[in-house]
Structure 1
Amino acid sequence: MNLESPKITLEKSATEAFNFLSDVQNFKKLMPENISKFEVLGEDKFLFALKGMPEIILKKKEVTPYSKIVLGAAGGKLDFSLIGNISEIETNQSTVQLTFEGDFNPMMSMMIKGPIGKFIETLVTNMKTAI
């Protein structure tokens, strides 16, 4: 299952957007209002939970300076990735789009497609004010 967030334009350079997303502590600023738990577990790993959902641990898996950050599930039963793609438009302007990739059975995909889509949309929307 692949889901993409809307592509947003930031009045920040690709370097600034990349540096913000590289620091896992900053993801707390991007989380939706219904977050019930957020905990940094190391410089490349954090745990979060939304109300009514299980805890999820994300770990930085791949980094391509100033253009891509891949966070993957660390433990748990579900294997998925959250990919941040950053593109420079001008010196102080860039675009960011999040992609969610996971291999789930059809029933699970149906159940999580809506909530995950809304979640990644919230993350990018909150970037406009957080960065």
Structure 2
Amino acid sequence: MKLESPKVTLDKSAEETFNFLSDVKNFESLMPENISKFEVLENDKFLFALKGMPEIILKKKEVIPHSKIVLGAAGGKLDFALEANITEIEPNKTDVKLNFEGEFNAMMGMMIKGPISKFIETLVTNMKTEV
């Protein structure tokens, strides 16, 4: 399953945006209001839970300075990746888009498609005020 967030434009440089997203503790400020738990486990790994959902651990898997950060599932039953693509369009204007990709059976895919789409949309929307 592949999902994409809407693209958002931030009034920040690609470097500033990348640095913000590289620090996993900053993801707490991007989370939806229905977050029930957030904990930094290591400097590249964090755990979060939304009300009514199981805990998810994300770990930085790939980093390309100022353009891409990939977070992947660290353990658990689900294997997926959340990729942030950062594109500087002017010196202090940057586009950010999130891509979610995971392998799920058809039933699981139907159950999580809506909540995951809403989740990644909330993350990018919150970047406008938090980054």
Name structure 1 gaps, 5 residues minimum: none
Deviation track 1:10-44 (CA, whole Å, cap 9, x = no partner) reads: 00000011000000000000000000000000100
1:21 aligns with 2:40: no
1:75 corresponds to: 75
Shift of 1:92: 0.3
Q: Give TM-score, length-normalised by structure 2.
A: 0.99
Report % sequence identity: 79
In structure 1, C-alpha distance between the alignment counterparts of 2:105 and 2:14, rounded to whole Å: 35
Counterparts of 1:1-131 in structure 2, within 5 Å, are 1-131=1-131
Read off the aligned partner of 1:115 and give its amino acid letter: P
Write out per-residue CA displacement over residues 73-98 of structure 1, whole angstroms, 9 at most, x where no aligned residue: 00000000000000000000000000
Equivalents in 1 of 2:97, 2:4: separation in Å? Answer: 7
Aligned-partner residue type, residue 118 of structure 1: K
Count of aligned residue pairs for this structure pair: 131
TM-score w.r.t. the length of structure 1 is: 0.99
Q: Give structure 2 stretches of 5+ with no counterpart.
A: none
Task: Please report the RMSD computed on the Cα atoms of aligned residues, expressed in angstroms.
Answer: 0.3
What one-letter code is carried by the residue in structure 1 that aligns with 2:52? G
